[in-house]
Amino acid sequence: MDKQYVVGVDMGGTNTVFGIVDARGNVLSKSAVKTSTHMDVNLYIDDIYNELIKLIDDVGGISKIKGIGVGAPNGNFYTGNIEFAPNLNWKGVIPFAKLMSEKFSVPAVLTNDANAAAIGEMTYGAARGMKNFIMITLGTGVGSGIVIDGKLVYGHDGFAGELGHTCSVRYNGRLCGCGRTGCLEAYASANGVARTAREIMETSKEESLLRNIPAESITSKDVHDAAVQGDKVALEIFEYTGKILGEALSDFVAFSAPEAFILFGGLTKAGDYILKPIVEHMEKNLLALWQGKIKVLFSDLKEADAAVLGASALAWEI
Amino acid sequence: MDKQYVVGVDMGGTNTVFGIVDARGNVLSKSAVKTSTHMDVNLYIDDIYNELIKLIDDVGGISKIKGIGVGAPNGNFYTGNIEFAPNLNWKGVIPFAKLMSEKFSVPAVLTNDANAAAIGEMTYGAARGMKNFIMITLGTGVGSGIVIDGKLVYGHDGFAGELGHTCSVRYNGRLCGCGRTGCLEAYASANGVARTAREIMETSKEESLLRNIPAESITSKDVHDAAVQGDKVALEIFEYTGKILGEALSDFVAFSAPEAFILFGGLTKAGDYILKPIVEHMEKNLLALWQGKIKVLFSDLKEADAAVLGASALAWEI
């Protein structure tokens, strides 16, 4: 095979990580540039080019590269554009796939990060062999990528799969970053967990290791570390978060009847502490016909590589 | 074209209606048998056969028939089975498509009634030319058929698209027929509307034409007729129902980003009285990127024919 590698680019609001990936999902090399320091997208692409071309040359030059896959905030697969991304410097519509393709003279394709993660799981990870699954990324935000019949769901406009912003998780619930209330993201994101921690500590008199940490900086890892030591507040935080997430998953099952959910991100580090309440409450809320049939799995991709792998997987399908 | 007709069979809990349909969606002839009187599915099929074969003979015999499409409660497209339908006499798993195919010596295919309705809209109705839409049937129950990229979503097991049983419409809300609480069906079904009528009349002192009707038998049509005369209670019932339905639709948009919703069934007879609050509250709850972009349409198929047309449309794809 001549074109035996793909490039994955994971664009975050702060940093952009990219790497060369082979067909078995090995990340051969990786590098990064700053996203947030560039006000001009062309200078940002120059910056990526200067770093990435070294990695490409190391594997035999651009002729070895099948294409470039990009996972980007508000990335639209159909158009290759980044459209009105609130957390990037470049406003409006940026034809990012086209710019990358012109710069590197190989095809480039783009989607949002959670969709890229789903394709990564299907190509290299926990969803290999699955035709119907839903990827949920639990990070700063809550993202999702939905796969039906082996294909990612993009919807009529390219923006399908915003399950973090289903809002009926709690009617008139917490204010979400999107400006609406009761979104899943307001409960199951990193911020959501920290907020749950604060709420529980404010309303309970229970002693907790978490009281030693400034409330606004509590992470899922802190909650996990406390839970391991039997901390009741920590366990209650996971129970509350898992209940809301499990109930949300049961509604998603009613939509597309997936074989499995693949969960990825900070919250999954809590292992069974979060998995057990998720599964318990999902099962409790499923229609009888689905009880005991839907798997909930954690991603088994190395966290440091997962986003680059996911983005790169897109490029195999060019 | 030799095989120029299809047969549509719409199986309800009480009656089964069937007809011969041409490629343009004309129902050439129609007949019906009782469903509920047959304890033996084979005798039920004999009954259908005896009626249906007359219609088939009238159009030139079985050689003119491409196939039979069946819309049935708990119908599984993948297996052709009716599986554990609570409202039918035949318990367990009934290989209905196989039995029909053997009886008539033509291919037969089966799905649930809401999925059949979605295919009917795509083939003959308001969704012609659409690749991404969601059909919502508002009747005794609330059913749904989801179309993505021009294909019906069946999920990993054949049972996807149970949006009437998404349960986070109201947290710990009304008890639903499925045994869980807060399902969309408990609010937007015929029963749900009657229940809303009762609740509003119990808690308000407002005069209403609906107070002249026994509470348990209030229909969407009664509410509509009262609304036309400016009845405040009736208007409040539509506002409440439309709000819940509109909020639910906005969550469904976050899933598959459909071009349109197609609504069908009793509630749509209320026209703008129900459409306006649905659209208003859907818009209010959509992420900004979807505001003003998602259509909400009523089915334009003749109600008496829609179910047979939907079932028949399945048979074109055999």
- The pLDDT of residue A1: 58
Do residue B158 and residue A259 have CB atoms under 8 angstroms apart?
Answer: no
Mean pLDDT (whole number) for A228-253: 96
Q: Is the pLDDT of residue A98 over 90?
A: yes
Cβ pair A160:B257 closer than 8 A:
yes
A289 contacts on B by Cβ (under 8 Å) = 83-84, 159
* Distance of alpha carbon A73 from alpha carbon A238, whole angstroms: 28
CB-count exposure of residue A142 (10 Å: 0-12, 13-18, 19+): buried
Residue of chain A whose Cα is closest to the Cα of B166: A251
Statement: residue A13 has pLDDT above 70: yes
Cα angle vertex A239, ends A235, A241, to 5°?
Answer: 115
pLDDT tens track for B165-189 = 997 778 889 999 888 899 999 999 9
Give the pLDDT score at B84. Answer: 85
Query: How do residues B214-225 score in pLDDT, each as one tens digit?
Result: 988 898 889 999
- State mean pLDDT over B214-239: 93
Q: Give the Cα separation of A211 and A217 in Å (integer).
A: 11
Is a pLDDT exceeding 70 seen at residue A149? yes
Tens digits of per-residue pLDDT, B33-86?
A: 999 999 999 999 999 999 999 999 999 999 999 999 999 988 999 999 999 888
Contact A169 B169 (CB under 8 A): no
Instruction: Report chain A's terminal Cα–Cα distance, integer Å.
Output: 16
Identify the residue whose tokens are 């229940």: B195
In this prediction, residue A215 has a pLDDT band, given cuts at 50, 70 and 90, of confident
Contact criterion met (CB < 8 Å) for B171 and A171: yes
Helix (H, G, I), strand (E, B) or coil at A280: helix
More confident site: A306 or B99: B99
- Summarised one tens digit per residue, pLDDT across range A131-145 is 999 999 998 889 999
CA A286 and chain centroid, separation: 24
Between chains, do B251 and A166 touch, taking CB under 8 Å as contact? yes
Mean pLDDT of A299-309: 88
Is the Cβ–Cβ distance between B195 and A298 less than 8 Å? no
Helices (H), chain A: 41-58, 96-104, 113-124, 185-188, 190-203, 220-228, 232-256, 272-285, 303-316
Using DSSP bridges, classify how beta strands A75-76 and A133-138 pair: parallel, antiparallel or unpaired: unpaired
Considering only the beta carbons, identify the residue of B83, B156, B166 that sits closest to A251: B166
The predicted pLDDT at position A293 comes to: 97
With bands split at pLDDT 50, 70 and 90, how would you rate the model's confidence at B238? Answer: very high
- Percent of chain B at pLDDT exceeding 70: 100
Q: What is the mean pLDDT of residues B134-144?
A: 93
The answer, yes or no, to whether residue A288 has pLDDT greater than 80, is yes
**CA–CA separation, B256 and A159 (whole Å):** 8
**Confidence bin at A179 (pLDDT 50/70/90):** confident
Find the mean pLDDT for residues B120-134: 95
Average pLDDT (B244-254) is 96
- Backbone φ and ψ for B44, nearest 5 degrees, come out as -60, -45
| Cα(B296)–Cα(B318) distance, integer angstroms | 30
pLDDT tier at A220, thresholds 50, 70, 90: confident
Q: Tell me how close the Cα of A148 comes to any Cα of chain B, in angstroms.
A: 7
Check pLDDT > 90 for residue A4: yes
Mean pLDDT of chain A: 94
pLDDT at residue A22, rounded to an integer: 95
State residue B87's pLDDT score.
80
- The pLDDT value recorded for residue B37 is 92
Sign of CA dihedral A52, A55, A58, A62: negative
Mutant choice from B82, B156, B174, B240 vs A, greatest count of A C-beta within 10 A = B156
Q: A109 falls in which pLDDT band (50, 70, 90)? A: very high
Q: Is A178's pLDDT higher than 90?
A: no
For residue A86, which of A43, A146, A141, A130 has the smallest C-alpha distance? A141
Least confidently predicted of A162-176, B51-65, B104-118: A162-176
Residues A241-286 pLDDT 10s: 999 999 999 999 999 999 999 999 989 999 999 999 999 999 999 9
Lowest mean pLDDT among A189-193, B26-30, B129-133: A189-193
Q: Which helix (H) or strand (E) holds B137?
A: strand B133-138
DSSP at A25: -
> Looking at residue B1, what is its pLDDT?
58
Length of chain B: 318
Mapped onto helix, strand or coil, the DSSP state of residue B108 is strand
- Write down the pLDDT at residue B8: 97
Average pLDDT over residues B201-208: 93
A285 and B162 within 8 Å at the Cβ level: the answer is no
| Closest approach of A153 to chain B, Cα-based (Å) | 7
